[in-house]
Amino acid sequence: MDDHEAPDQIRVIGATTNNLCEVSLTIPKKALTVFTGVSGSGKSSLVLDTVAAGAQRLANDSYPAFLRARLPQLPAPDVQAMAGLTFTVLIDQRRFTPNARSTVATATDLAPLLRLVFSRAGVPSAGYSPAYSFNDPKGMCPACEGIGTVVDIDVDELIDLDKTIDEGPVRFSNFRPGVYRWKRFAYCGFFDRSKPMRDYTPEEMDLFLYADGVKPTHPDPRFPASGRFDGVVTRLRDVYVKNRPPKISKKVREELDRITTQRPCPDCHGARVNAAARASLIEGRSIVDWMALSVNELHELLEHLAIPQVAPALDGIRTILDALISVGLGYLSLDRESSSLSGGEAQRVKIVRHLGGALTDVSYVFDEPSIGLHPADVLRLTRLLQRLRDAGNTVLVVEHHPQVIRIADHVVDMGPGAGHDGGRILFEGTPQALAGSDTPTGRVLAQRLTVKQQASSARSWVSVKNARARNLTGFDVDIPIGVLTAVTGVAGSGKSSLATLELPRQQRRFIVVGQDALRGGVRSTSLSVLGVAESIRKAFSEASGLEPAWFSFNSKGACPGCNGKGYITTELAFLDDVATPCDACDGSRFNPTALAVAIDGRTIADVLAMTADEVAQLFAGRPDIVAAVGWMDRVGLGYAAVGQSLDTLSGGEKQRLLIARHLASSTDLASEWIVLDEPTTGLHPSDVDRINVLFDDLLDLGTTLVVVEHNLRVIARADHVIDIGPGAGIDGGRLVFAGPPAELVDDESSLTGRALAIASSAG
C-alpha cells in the first residue's frame, strides 16, 4: 500500500520493540484510541516506545544538528515501517524534576501572567515583570535567593564540645582525624589541639567555626605554605549547603540531614520575593498573597476584578485557572512546589498546558492518565480527552480504567498475557464490541462489580483522635483490626494524610508501605531489592567453589568489556549516543568465569532472565529464595524478569516491589498492621483481582490491612470503608462516611458511594 492511500491513519508495520511480536496495525487519526491489556502485555511498547518515540525522533531530525544535541534523545523503535505520523506530544507519568524554583504557577505558565499584571497595576510598582519573580535577581529575596527557606548548620549537632581536635570534635566523617579537612584546622596553628572544645574562648570558637579565608601566622609545617584557613561551618556551607554535590554517599547524605536545619527565610518569611515586590498591592493583596491562594480561591477573586490596562493578561489567567479546575486541580495552591505533586497531578498539570492551543492535527499520547484519580476525577479526565480530540487532534491513551475505555472511538487490546506471553493484538474495534469479546479486558468490561454484602468482623478497634495532618479538620475515626479497611476520597481529599501520616503517628504499630522511591538504577535488580541476590550467588558459589562475588555483575563477575552493564555506549558528539550489546558477553553482563558455572544447566545470566516462578522452581531446595520471589509473583510482578534493572520499572511496578520486599522480610505477618498507599497503581482489572486474592490470603493469616485506594474493585471487597472529602484541599479533610461498602452504596453524600453504586449496577 502506498503511504498516500491512507492519510487519515497512522500505520505501524512489523513492530518488535521490547516484547512485541511483529505487530502491524492501523490507528485512526482525529479519534480517541485506547490501548488496553494486562500489565506487561506490550501496550506501552507499542504506543510509547514505538509510535511516540518514532514520531518524536522524526520531529527532532528536522532541526539542525546543533539543536538536536540539546533535545531529549529517544531510542530508535524496532519496527519495519511507520507512516502517517504527526507531531506528537507525550504526556507521561513522570513527576516533575525536584526543583525548589518550580511551582504550580511556573509549571502552568501562570506565573509570567501574574507578574505582568502586578508590574502594570501594582501600587507602588516594583518595576517590570522580573521585579516580581523569585527566579530573577531583580525580584528574589536576597537572603534566601528566592528559595523561601534557608538551610544552615546546627552547631550543637555538629560539634562534640567534650573532645579535642586530636580526638575529632566534628561529627561529620569528612572532618574526622587524619583526613584532609581535619588537617586544615589541626595544622593551622590557631588552636590548642589537646584542649577540649568546651574550654575554647568565644573568640577561639568563632574562629574555629566561622573563619573565612584567614591567613595563619604561625602554622604547622604541614599546613600548605600559601593556604588560608576556613572555619568548619564556613567550609560546610560552601561545599555542602550552597552547592550541594549531586553525587554523595548514603552515609554523607544521612550526616548532612542530621547536622543541617531548614527554616523559613527570616527576611521574607517564605515569600521568596524581595520587599519591593511584597509591598506592591492590587486591592490590598500582593503577588505573594495571590500565589498563596488555591486555584479555586484565585478564580473566585478574579471573577469580578476589572483592570482595563491588563485585561488580556487577566483573561489568560482565568483561562488557565478554568483548565486547572476542569481537571480537578482546583485545590492546589499556586506556590506549591511542583516536585511535591503526585504522578497523576503532574500529568494533569502537563495536560493543562495544551488546552486551548491553536495547533491541530497533533497526536497526544497519554500514559495511564487515570492513575491516582478518583472515579469522579476520571469523569473530568474523559471530558478533557474528548476536548482534545474534538479540536482536531489524534489522542492515543494507554489505559486500564473502564471509564476511559468506554468513551473511546477505537480500542486496541494487547495480550493475552505479560512479557513473553504478550506482545500480540487480541482485539481491534469499539468498546461495545470489546465487552462482547473473550479477551481478559473484554471479560472485565462485561462484568458487573459485586459489592461485598457481609463484612468480616473486626477482632478489635483502635482510634484516631483529632486528625489534623495537612488539610484534615480534626475529626475522630475508629479503625478495625484484623480486616481490610479502604480509605477513599477524591485526589487531595486528605485520605493519604489520614492513613499514612495521622494513623501511624497515633497508632505506632501500623507500618506504612507507601510510594517511596526505590534507590538504584541500572545496577540494581528485583533480586537485590528482595534481599536474595546474595543467596543466589551463594548457591552458585557452593556449586563451583568460587567466591559469591564472582556471580555479581557489580563485582568480580563483571564482564571486563562493559563493566557489567551488558552494553557499550558510543558517544557520537552531536548525534545520538548509540548503545550496542557488549560483544564480549553478548549482553549477559558476566565474564567467562562466571558464565562457566551452571545449576541444572542454568548460568547466573540465565537466572536473571527468569521470572519469579522459574527461579522458584530452579531453587526449590532453598526456602529463603522461594519465599521471597514468591511474593514478587503474588503482588502481580510474575511477568517481569527478576534481573530487570530498576530504572526500567514503572512507578507502579516499583511500588509493588516495595510491598513484596516488606512481605518477604516480615517474620510474623499474623501480627502486622500494614498501611498500603494505592497498591493497584497501573494495574489491569484482572491484575487487581490478583491483588485482592493476596489481600484475602493476608487477612486469613491475621494481618490487618488499611489500603488507600481509588480502585472500585478493591473498595467493593473491603470490610470497612473510611471516605474522606467531600472535595479536595480546603473542600475536603472531613469524615464523610465510615462503614461497610454495602452501606456506602446508598450514601448520596459520598462521591465514592455514587461511583460504587453506578459500577455495581452497570454491566
The CATH code of domain 452-518+649-763 reads 3.40.50.300
| E strand spans, 201-298 | 260-264
Q: Are 323 and 366 in contact (CB under 8 A)?
A: no
pLDDT higher than 60, residue 375: yes
Q: Which residues contact 436 (CB under 8 A, 6 or more apart)?
A: 442, 446
Domain range 519-622, CATH class: mainly alpha
Range scoring the smallest mean pLDDT among 16-20, 208-212, 579-583, 617-621? 579-583
Write down the pLDDT at residue 1. Answer: 44
Identify the burial level of 222 via C-beta atoms within 10 angstroms of its C-beta, where 0-12 means exposed, 13-18 middle and 19 or more buried: exposed
Q: What is the pLDDT of residue 575?
A: 47
Residue 671 has pLDDT above 90, yes or no: yes
Q: Comparing 304 with 408, which gets the higher pLDDT? A: 408
Q: How confident is the model at residue 128 (pLDDT cuts 50, 70, 90)?
A: very high
C-alpha dihedral sign at 571, 576, 582, 587: positive
Q: Which CATH number fits domain 3-95+342-446: 3.40.50.300, 3.50.50.60, 2.60.120.10, 3.30.470.10?
A: 3.40.50.300
Arithmetic mean of pLDDT, 526-546: 95
Please tell me the distance from the alpha carbon of residue 595 to that of residue 619, in angstroms, as a whole number: 18
Classified by CATH at the fold level, domain 150-264 comes out as Helicase, Ruva Protein; domain 3 (1.10.8)
**pLDDT tens-digit readout, 453-490:** 999 999 999 999 999 998 899 999 999 999 999 999 98
Q: Which pLDDT belongs to residue 519? A: 63
Nearest-angstrom CA–CA distance, 517 and 205:
41
pLDDT value of residue 163: 95
Per-residue model confidence as pLDDT tens digits over 172-202: 998 999 999 999 999 999 999 999 999 999 9
Architecture label for domain 104-148+267-339: Up-down Bundle (1.20)
pLDDT number for residue 578: 59
The larger pLDDT score, comparing residue 400 to residue 373, is at: 400
When pLDDT is cut at 50, 70 and 90, the band that residue 413 belongs to is very high
**For the chain, domain boundaries:** 3-95+342-446, 104-148+267-339, 150-264, 452-518+649-763, 519-622
Q: Which of 30-34, 95-99, 562-566, 594-598 has the lowest average pLDDT?
A: 95-99
In the chain, what are the helix, strand and coil shares in percent, each to the nearest 5?
Answer: 40, 15, 45
Work out the pLDDT band at 567, boundaries 50, 70, 90: confident
Determine the Cα–Cα distance for residues 499 and 676; give it in Å rounded to an integer. 9
Of 42-46, 89-93, 328-332, 685-689, the one with minimum mean pLDDT is 89-93
Average predicted confidence (pLDDT) for the chain: 90
> Do the Cβ atoms of 467 and 474 come closer than 8 Å?
yes
Is there a common fold for 104-148+267-339 and 150-264? no
